[in-house]
Structure 1
């Protein structure tokens, strides 16, 4: 209520200036309902999802290629790669925002300009602080890390006033943690997902302490080594490393439920995403991880307090290798059983 009054006092004077104002553009992160703030400004139009304004904020790919050509070349020289490779890296890390559908690809302007200024591709948007409020809200609405991405919703569910929000979607969408990735006209549903690698990694790093009670630095180091093992096609060492790591860290308070371990795996493997391609499919609770290195495709199944054998049966049942035959890489099946008693990996099986 207080915020609303402050905002109202801020906008009221605009009404008196009506004769002198030709064009007023209001922007911000959160949407308020029209009535609560703008009763004084009755002729205001919301262009948030208007196609003709899709690229009014942010920087589009076209603009990078034309107006920022020199900056891209400078960054390429600094990183010792070709301009085309730089564009791919910038795209993967900072692109992926769409505020309507169809829409040009919009890059995060802050991160993009910082990477040009600093001469390296890094996490700039998240570097500005941990989203404590977001973590609290995820807890309040009971949202698991794996449920943040890949949502389907109609416009009214995400382009909605956050003051009346009944789930987390409007907050995630309006603050840039998820964005529009697709639209199905026949049922009028949008697909919302995490925009890019920078947001995914930043988000997962922020959520990790809720699942792994360890120093962030130790975890980051472990993830880096883990990814090196996997890139060297030594999955056995990777799992042994993870087993040791998990058995040396203290329990978190909230390990009451089965999903806890799967979410922890989800986060740890998502963090590998900066080193290997990853796809994690999780209909709530169960985790299938698909990891892709330059030479191998790993298909993983995680079970809790069962056996690695049962996890392997599940993989064979789903006939994964066939569905991945197209990518032309040899498929390696990895079955893992998690031991909740010991709080770490129990046994595993790896089949080529």
Structure 2
């Protein structure tokens, strides 16, 4: 029995470096031996995250079956809700006790943070990320374990201008042929993001997969990764301001929140050349939504309601912020305030138990 785990790790790390060809030639030799000696092999199981077909894995080992999309294996790489409720009751109760939640509230929070993966269009069973879930239950804390798993280090190699494109990936579509058979080096950003766990299957229609972010943990980790590239500041420079912004929004302290927001946004549209082709209002919308997503708020951009389209809705535990953005040469705060009043932008949130704050931003 031969088990090879993470076969793709050296290939990922050597991709776009002078060592890649030497790396692939070693693989070809190994796989050729596996093929030649298959009479001695009862069982061969190879796992990896990304798929590198150019190393002849599937032509040299042409008797392999790819089980990645098969319905009977849809829950093989994670923990289902049923298993969580059956096997982790004491840990969930402990988390609920620490946080002042009911058992059901604790399950709902764990689900929002770590669940949501689907691996087969024919079996859409929800799967929790086991690494994050088990860490959260061990620590009795909902933290972002994804960022510490090293999953973000490969992003720049496979996705160009990630900070500008992030809004295009949730949701996005990909052809069945591409997602099920293509090589990660030529399948586009969506394929890499799917294979590396940033996107998951949300639906399937007529030969096309619909993909989206699986959960809050992954979405926040992704936005946190791209924020320094968008603001042209180092991670260390913005950490303190980000945490102050999050606390201010949680407490409803608007003057402090606006001070932090200004500090993060200052000069970005002018110094970031990549944003130059975008409409000015669109640039600010992108920067602000990235900031809010990166600190862990729930964000909806251009939310459609009966009376119009709200620029941005930002949700925290205790508040719902309804934002309207206007450039100073387009009426500024007065025009934004008037639009929110005339179109009753706060109205759809009246039933929400949280306090609703309508915010005009110039």
Matching residue of 2:9 = none
Instruction: Measure how far apart 1:290 and its partner are.
Output: 0.9
Does residue 334 in structure 1 map to residue 353 in structure 2? no
SS of aligned partner of 2:245:
helix
Measure the CA separation in 1 of the matches of 2:236 and 2:163.
27
SS of aligned partner of 2:286:
helix
Change beyond 3 A, Cα 1:31–1:223? same
Does residue 60 in structure 1 map to residue 80 in structure 2? yes
Instruction: Measure how far apart 1:97 and its partner are.
Output: 1.0
Instruction: Measure how far apart 1:117 and its partner are.
Output: 3.1
Change beyond 3 A, Cα 1:105–1:54? same
Measure the CA separation in 1 of the matches of 2:349 and 2:178.
35
Instruction: Measure how far apart 1:327 and its partner are.
Output: 5.0
Specify which of 93, 97, 104 is matched with residue 117 of structure 2: 97
Does residue 191 in structure 1 map to residue 217 in structure 2? no
Which stretch of the first structure deviates more once superposed, 315-324 or 191-200?
Answer: 315-324
Change beyond 3 A, Cα 1:165–1:288? farther
1:289-334 alpha-carbon deviations (Å, 9 max, x no partner) = 2123566533223344532345456657877456556657775433
Specify which of 201, 205, 215 is matched with residue 224 of structure 2: 205
Matches within 5 A, 1:258-269: 258=280, 259-269=282-292
Instruction: Measure how far apart 1:4 and its partner are.
Output: 3.1
Specify which of 225, 230, 252 is matched with residue 249 of structure 2: 230
Q: Could you list the runs of 5+ residues in structure 1 that have no partner in the other structure?
A: 338-352
Specify which of 113, 128, 147 is matched with residue 107 of structure 1: 128
Instruction: Measure how far apart 1:110 and its partner are.
Output: 1.3
Matching residue of 1:37 = 57
Does residue 271 in structure 1 map to residue 290 in structure 2? no
Which stretch of the first structure deviates more once superposed, 11-20 or 327-336?
Answer: 327-336
SS of aligned partner of 2:65:
coil
Matching residue of 2:147 = 126
SS of aligned partner of 2:360:
strand
Does residue 148 in structure 1 map to residue 169 in structure 2? yes
SS of aligned partner of 2:148:
helix
Measure the CA separation in 2 of the matches of 1:32 and 1:317.
55
Measure the CA separation in 2 of the matches of 1:75 and 1:66.
16
Matches within 5 A, 1:296-311: 296-304=319-327, 306=330, 307-311=332-336
SS of aligned partner of 1:162:
coil
Change beyond 3 A, Cα 1:250–1:155? closer
Measure the CA separation in 2 of the matches of 1:231 and 1:114.
25
Instruction: Measure how far apart 1:151 and its partner are.
Output: 1.0
1:199-242 alpha-carbon deviations (Å, 9 max, x no partner) = 11211111111122445355333333333333344445522442
TM score, norm. by length of structure 2: 0.76
Aligned residues of 1:272 and 1:278 also touching (Cα < 8 A): no
Matching residue of 2:6 = none
Change beyond 3 A, Cα 1:300–1:167? same
Q: Could you list the runs of 5+ residues in structure 2 that have no partner in the other structure?
A: 1-20
Paired positions, count? 331
Aligned residues of 2:91 and 2:140 also touching (Cα < 8 A): no
Does residue 159 in structure 1 map to residue 184 in structure 2? no
Change beyond 3 A, Cα 1:251–1:75? same
Measure the CA separation in 1 of the matches of 2:157 and 2:339.
35
Matching residue of 1:15 = 35
Aligned residues of 2:95 and 2:137 also touching (Cα < 8 A): yes
Instruction: Measure how far apart 1:95 and its partner are.
Output: 1.2
Aligned-pair Cα RMSD in Å = 3.5
Instruction: Measure how far apart 1:56 and its partner are.
Output: 1.0
1:74-130 alpha-carbon deviations (Å, 9 max, x no partner) = 444555644433322221221111112342111111112222333432222211347
Aligned residues of 1:159 and 1:174 also touching (Cα < 8 A): no
Change beyond 3 A, Cα 1:313–1:134? farther
Measure the CA separation in 2 of the matches of 1:244 and 1:141.
23
